[in-house]
Amino acid sequence: MREFGNAEVLFIVFALQWTLTLTALAFFGGGIAGIAVALLRISRSRYIRLAVSGYIQVVQGTPLLVLMFLCYYAPSLFGIELNALFAAGIALTLNASAFLGAIWESALRAIPKAQWESAEALALPQSKVLRFVIAPQAVRIALPSTVGYLVQIVKETSLASIIGFVEITRAGQLVSNATFEPMKAYVCVALLYFLICFPLSRFSQWLETRSPGRTKGPSRG
C-alpha cells in the first residue's frame, strides 16, 4: 500500500492534460459538427430537417456513458482496435454536436425573418446573408449558453474513465485504489474540475448579464 502524498497529487494533476485534450476534442469536433447540425436544421428541405432532428433526438436520448461504450466496442466488430482517447473523443463529439447544434439552431431562429428578407432584397446570396448578417447576430445570442455548455463538456470527459482512459477521474480512481484514500483522491479530483469550471461558469454568467447590445432588431411602433 502506498501513502497519499505529493506524488499521488501530481499524478492526478498531470492527468489534467488528458481531461483538457478530451475537452478540446469534444468542443472543436462537436463545434464543427454542431455548426453543420444547426445549418441543416434551418434547411429549406423538410426531409433534411427531419433527418437531422432524428439525429439530435437519438444522440440526446442516449446516455453519454452508453455512447462511450458503443464507440469503444463497435469498431472491434469490424476488426478495428480503437484506442480509448479516440473512442472517447468520438463519443463526446457526437454528444456535443447534438447539444451545440440545438443551441445554435435556436440562436439562428431567434434572428427575425425580416433580417433575412432585407438582406436577400439587397441581392445577397443566401450563403452571404448567413455569413454577414445572420451568423454574427446569432453568435452573440448563443455565446453565453455555448460557454455554459463547455462546462458540461469538461465534466462529461470524466465518463471516459469507464473505458480506461486516464484523465483526472480515472487518475483519482487509480490513486484511490493504490492508497485506500478515496476521499483525498476524489476531493483532489473535484477541486481540479472546480478550478476549470468555475471561471468558465463566471465567464458565461458575465456574457449573459452583459447588455445584449446590438443583437436586437429595431422595435416596431
Nearest-approach distance from CB 139 to another protein, in angstroms: 9
The yes or no reply on residue 214 touching another protein (CB under 8 A) is: yes
DSSP 8-state code for residue 2? -
The yes or no reply on residue 44 touching another protein (CB under 8 A) is: no
Cα 140 to Cα 111: distance, rounded to the nearest angstrom: 11
Q: Which three cell numbers stand for residue 139?
A: 453568435
Residue from the set 68, 92, 107, 133 that interacts with another protein by CB under 8 A? 133
Give the number of residues in contact with another protein, rule: CB under 8 A.
27
What residues contact residue 13 under an 8 Å CB cut-off, 6+ apart? Answer: 192
In the complex with another protein, which residue's Cβ is closer, 58 or 122?
Answer: 122
Q: What DSSP string runs through 52-83?
A: HHHHHHHHHTS-HHHHHHHHHHHHHHTT----
Nearest-approach distance from CB 109 to another protein, in angstroms: 17
Q: What DSSP string runs through 41-54?
A: HT-S-HHHHHHHHH
Nearest-approach distance from CB 133 to another protein, in angstroms: 5
The yes or no reply on residue 136 touching another protein (CB under 8 A) is: yes
Nearest to 27 by CA among 147, 158, 186: 147
Nearest-approach distance from CB 34 to another protein, in angstroms: 22
Nearest-approach distance from CB 104 to another protein, in angstroms: 17
Q: Which of residues 68-127 bind another protein (CB under 8 A)?
A: 112, 114-115, 117-126
Residue from the set 93, 137, 145, 158 that interacts with another protein by CB under 8 A? 137
Cα 193 to Cα 188: distance, rounded to the nearest angstrom: 9
Rounded to a whole number, what is the largest CA-CA distance in the chain?
75
Residues forming contacts to another protein in the complex (CB under 8 A) are: 112, 114-115, 117-126, 128, 132-133, 136-137, 140, 213-218, 220-221
